[in-house]
């Protein structure tokens, strides 16, 4: 949006925009003329307009413009012209915009034709610490209430399934078993083996100081079987399966498919949530067993190939360190994680909005909350096991 004169001016100043200046002079008829020069663009330096503002404050009669020295211009010129127009109107002066470029005159007329809405520039005061804390608390309470309501609906749907009244299809459960089990096995085994390898290396650094490298077998075995195998499996499935649940149900919510199910008298909890929750809950312990085995193998690889421990000695030390209770505690972790991941992903998906952006937000929130729930559940189970002495 530049005049022909502005185009010539740009050719004359190739190094960059010149400083915009607004000066004032009195015309022969006593009116005030504001002369514009330089490039009035947002990329140009700050305009020099103090003299024009001072002259406008003491003007009498008519106020006009002279754009003879004007170069390139954009919305910065329009904002200054609107400021001059508002100042002239406040002082009862007549405004003559004929000296402005034609495009600027049209935009100024359009801007003045629509009055500014009252309160449009109102800025909310900055919230205090107490107010922000209250907002966070209210949001947390709303999230907790919605989570409990969704959990209650899932429990009711599970009760209907137990009594044969739920609209849950066996084919859906088998499909979820396939997607959350065999298709996720490779990544779970790979990550678990690497975690076992890392635990062995970290343990070797400290145990080698005492000449007790053989206890790396005990460290890796107990850590993987009791906690780490289930935790790593849960984190992987939170990012893989929980996100998929949220995206699927979020897309169905955006396309009003869930509303269509309700219209047909089908409970979405029974038809959509229960198959996913049952499938993931059943597969999590099985995946955890594979994760435990691969973690122990990863630690053995470090102990035998790197530290030179005897394979038979490493294996016997591993069996001596492991007890049946470690195995069951790991399975409890995995089962709880499966329920939390499935319910969190499904809830976030069903609570998503109608837009694509809301589906993405629901997916992200499902992954984050699932991981947070996994950490909290791990802490709670660990405390309970310590209180029970197991």
Range list for CATH 3.30.750.24 in the chain: 4-113
DSSP secondary structure letters along 124-135 = PPPP-HHHHHHH
Coil, strand, or helix at residue 333? helix
Report pLDDT digits (tens) over 146-190: 889 988 989 998 898 888 888 888 898 999 999 998 999 999 999
Neighbours of 185 (CB within 10 A): 16
Report pLDDT digits (tens) over 130-150: 888 888 899 889 888 988 998
**Residue holding tokens 């394979």?**
311
Coil, strand, or helix at residue 320? helix
pLDDT at residue 7, as a whole number: 37
pLDDT at residue 208, as a whole number: 78
Instruction: Report residue 55 CA to chain centroid gap.
Output: 52
CATH (residue range 4-113):
3.30.750.24
Q: Which token pair is 163?
A: 């009594």
pLDDT at residue 118, as a whole number: 62
Give the pairing type, strands 32-40 and 62-73.
parallel
Residue 235 CA to residue 375 CA, distance in Å, equals 9
pLDDT at residue 44, as a whole number: 79
- Write the DSSP symbol of residue 310: -
Angle, helices 311-321 vs 274-301, to 10°: value is 140
**Which regions in the chain score pLDDT beneath 50?**
1-14
- Write the DSSP symbol of residue 15: T
If we measure between CA atoms, which residue out of 385, 351, 340 comes closest to residue 234?
340
pLDDT at residue 1, as a whole number: 39
């Amino acid at each position: 949006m530049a005049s022909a004169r502005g185009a010539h001016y740009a050719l004359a100043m190739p190094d960059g925009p010149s400083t915009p200046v607004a000066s004032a002079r009195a015309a022969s008829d006593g009116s005030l003329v504001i002369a514009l020069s330089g490039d009035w663009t947002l990329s140009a330096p700050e305009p020099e307009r103090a003299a024009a503002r001072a002259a406008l404050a003491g003007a009498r009669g008519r106020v006009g413009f002279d754009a003879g020295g004007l170069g390139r211009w954009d919305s910065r010129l329009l904002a200054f012209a609107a400021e001059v127009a508002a100042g002239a109107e406040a002082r009862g002066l007549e405004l003559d915009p004929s000296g402005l470029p034609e495009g600027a005159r049209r935009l100024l007329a359009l801007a003045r034709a629509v009055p500014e809405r009252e309160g449009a520039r109102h800025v909310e005061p900055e919230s205090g610490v107490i107010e922000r804390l209250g907002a966070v608390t209210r949001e947390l309470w709303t999230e907790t209430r919605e989570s409990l309501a969704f959990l209650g609906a899932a429990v009711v749907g599970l009760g209907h399934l137990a009594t044969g009244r739920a609209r849950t299809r066996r084919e859906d459960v088998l499909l979820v078993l396939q997607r959350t089990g065999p298709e996720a096995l490779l990544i779970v085994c790979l990550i678990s083996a690497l975690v076992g390898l890392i635990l062995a290396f970290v343990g070797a650094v400290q145990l080698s100081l005492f000449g007790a490298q053989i206890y790396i077998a005990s460290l890796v075995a107990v850590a993987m079987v009791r906690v780490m195998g289930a935790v790593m499996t849960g984190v992987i499935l939170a990012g893989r399966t929980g996100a998929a649940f949220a995206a699927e149900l979020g897309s169905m919510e955006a396309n009003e498919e869930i509303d269509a199910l309700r219209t047909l008298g089908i409970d979405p909890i029974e038809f959509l949530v229960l198959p996913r929750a049952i499938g993931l809950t059943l597969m999590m312990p099985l995946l955890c067993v594979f994760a435990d085995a691969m973690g122990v193998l990863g630690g053995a690889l470090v102990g035998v190939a790197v530290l030179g421990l005897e394979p038979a000695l490493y294996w016997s030390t591993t069996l001596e360190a492991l007890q049946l209770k470690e195995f069951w505690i790991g399975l409890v972790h995995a089962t709880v994680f499966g329920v939390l991941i499935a319910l969190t992903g499904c809830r976030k998906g069903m609570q998503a909005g109608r837009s694509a952006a809301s589906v993405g937000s629901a997916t992200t929130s499902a992954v984050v909350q699932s991981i947070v729930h996994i950490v909290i559940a791990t802490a709670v189970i660990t405390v309970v096991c310590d209180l029970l002495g197991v």
